[in-house]
Amino acid sequence: MEITETIGWIGNVVVILSFLQKKMRNLRVIGMIGAMIWVVYAIRMDSNSLLILNLVIVGIQIYHIYKLRREELKKIHPWMYPIHNTKWKQEDPPIVSSLELDEDEERHIIDRWHGDKEGMK
């Protein structure tokens, strides 16, 4: 078997192994390695269509690995990633006070609160 064909078979095995992964990060990393092996195969075969396809796949895998890593870091260090949605800063918060309640509503809330406290005893 010629070296080029061996490289192609190794690429096949690696890509198949990537689909057997349960963790998305492992799937992406192994899939990227398989696509890079296929890039080598495409260069040796002088196949531009196969080369472009696998370069695009490598780029997509790198992008998704970056996103996965960023999400992992957000969980570990949330203060390093500010909130992107600043709409909450522009809206006025609703003002709620006990002065807005009717006596019946207020009595209901107080009775419910006392009932909850008695149920806890």
The pLDDT assigned to 14 comes to: 96
The whole-model pTM stands at 0.63
Percent of the chain with pLDDT over 70: 68
Judging by beta carbons within 10 Å of its beta carbon (0-12, 13-18, 19+), is residue 47 exposed, middle or buried? middle
pLDDT in tens, 61-72: 999 999 999 888
For helices 3-19 and 24-45, the axis angle rounded to 10 degrees is 160
